[in-house]
Amino acid sequence: MRAFVVERYGDADTVRASDVPDPQVGDYDVLVGIHAASVNPLDLKTRDGALKAILPYRAPFVLGNDLAGRVVATGALVTQFAVGDEVYTRPAQNRIGAFAELIAVHQDDLAPKPATLTMAEAASIPLVGLTAWQALVEHASVQPGQKVLIHAGAGGVGTIAIQLAKHLGATVAATASAPKIDLVRSLGADVVIDYRNQAFETILHDYDVVLDTVGGTTLDKSLRVLKPGGKVISVSGPPDPTFAREIGANPVIRLAMAALSFRIRRRARRRNVTYSFLFMKASGDQLREVTALIDAGVIRPVVDRVFDFASTREALAHVEQGHAKAGKVVIRMK
């Protein structure tokens, strides 16, 4: 099959189109013919080798972290899917490879594609949809009447998280640049902060939850808007000891992660709030929850641009160079 392969860790030149063997299908695996995949910042970090300590892929490997397609074969013990089913997924971390014609995915990581979406739209959802779900539902347990701040509201995670937080009954604030304010409001944000001209930390206060997708000084300033007992959940900040335990990191990596996050955890404790790092996990069950919300009209995808499969390198560059205006960039195989 054709695929886009990372030949070695490095820059854009390390990604090449290549012929690779078809995936092997285990007893509980579903072989999916990929119709579309989406580009995530995670793909760029993986390609660069920035995550080697926690995601040690052995090059060459196929890149790509979420997709939509049709089942073309099933393992002997698969019970949840049949040939011809339309599905979408964020494969498990050790089984990525969405920038290809085929992928084998464990049935537990797969979900039926939302009936109301095209393949391209569906492919834009799994990674960011699961990130929003795990942050707001699983980790923060957002309740009606709470106040939630979502950074980068026009980004892939932000566009979904705003809609999910509103569905959960929260008052939602979001940061965005001026050209994206109308879009963010249309997704349900009650308050939109133009981060280039306004200091969100001086305007917002007494928030219950912050979902940080930016990191750096934005993460530091986010502590100031939380009420006592509030939570900041970051997908861009330093990994914390809890995450190190979850991935079974060795003692050296655990110490390194504890050291990296020591400052932000200490600052959070001093303000009587909590900091946690989130690296989303594959989950077919949670993706089914997201599917139900999409088909009910609660959540809609935001797609910036669709590239053909042959232009996968250009799609990666489009994201890396910051050209995406809002939402996700999608690669269409068929």
Residue 292 belongs to a domain: no
Residues 168 and 83 placed together within one structural domain of the fold: no
The model's pLDDT over 203-256, given as tens digits with 9 standing for 90+, comes to 999 999 999 999 999 999 999 999 999 999 999 999 988 888 888 888 888 888
Predicted pLDDT at 247: 80
Residue 287 belongs to a domain: no
Residues 80 and 211 placed together within one structural domain of the fold: no
- Say which CATH number the domain at 174 has: 3.40.50.720
The model's pLDDT over 275-334, given as tens digits with 9 standing for 90+, comes to 999 999 999 999 999 999 999 999 999 999 999 999 999 999 999 999 888 999 999 997
Rounded to an integer, what distance in angstroms lies between the CA atom of residue 147 and that of residue 170?
6
- Say which CATH number the domain at 110 has: 3.90.180.10
Predicted pLDDT at 60: 94
The model's pLDDT over 152-193, given as tens digits with 9 standing for 90+, comes to 999 999 999 999 999 999 999 999 999 999 999 999 999 999
* Helix, strand, or coil (residue 229): strand
Residues 34 and 144 placed together within one structural domain of the fold: no
Residue 295 belongs to a domain: no
Residue 82 belongs to a domain: yes
Q: What percent of the chain has pLDDT over 90?
A: 89
Domain total in the chain: 2
Residues 93 and 115 placed together within one structural domain of the fold: yes
Residues 135 and 214 placed together within one structural domain of the fold: yes
Residues 196 and 117 placed together within one structural domain of the fold: no
Predicted pLDDT at 194: 97
Rounded to an integer, what distance in angstroms lies between the CA atom of residue 306 and that of residue 180?
19
Residue 291 belongs to a domain: no
Predicted pLDDT at 245: 84
Q: Which residue, 140, 30, 155, 134, is CA-closest to 82?
A: 30
The model's pLDDT over 187-206, given as tens digits with 9 standing for 90+, comes to 999 999 999 999 999 999 99
The model's pLDDT over 79-89, given as tens digits with 9 standing for 90+, comes to 999 999 999 99
Rounded to an integer, what distance in angstroms lies between the CA atom of residue 154 and that of residue 160?
9
Cα–Cα separations (whole angstroms), residue 154 to 9, 70, 118, 161: 29, 29, 21, 10
Residues 134 and 269 placed together within one structural domain of the fold: yes
The model's pLDDT over 133-154, given as tens digits with 9 standing for 90+, comes to 999 999 999 999 999 999 999 9
Position with higher pLDDT, 58 vs 105? 105
Residues 132 and 72 placed together within one structural domain of the fold: no
Residue 209 belongs to a domain: yes
Helices and strands per DSSP (H, E), number in the chain:
11, 16
Residue 293 belongs to a domain: no
Q: Is the dihedral of CA 263, 219, 206, 171 positive or negative?
A: negative
Predicted pLDDT at 56: 85
Residues 273 and 308 placed together within one structural domain of the fold: no
Residues 120 and 138 placed together within one structural domain of the fold: no
Domain span at residue 59?
2-124+301-332
**Tokens representing 240?**
């914390």
Q: Which residue, 286, 301, 246, is CA-closest to 138?
A: 286
Tell me the whole-structure pTM to 2 decimals. 0.96
Residue 296 belongs to a domain: no
**Cβ-contact 187, 159 below 8 angstroms:** yes
Residues 7 and 111 placed together within one structural domain of the fold: yes
Predicted pLDDT at 52: 85
**Tokens representing 124?**
């834009």
Q: DSSP of 16-42, one letter per residue?
A: EEEE-PPPP--TTEEEEEEEEEEE-HH
Residues 100 and 138 placed together within one structural domain of the fold: no
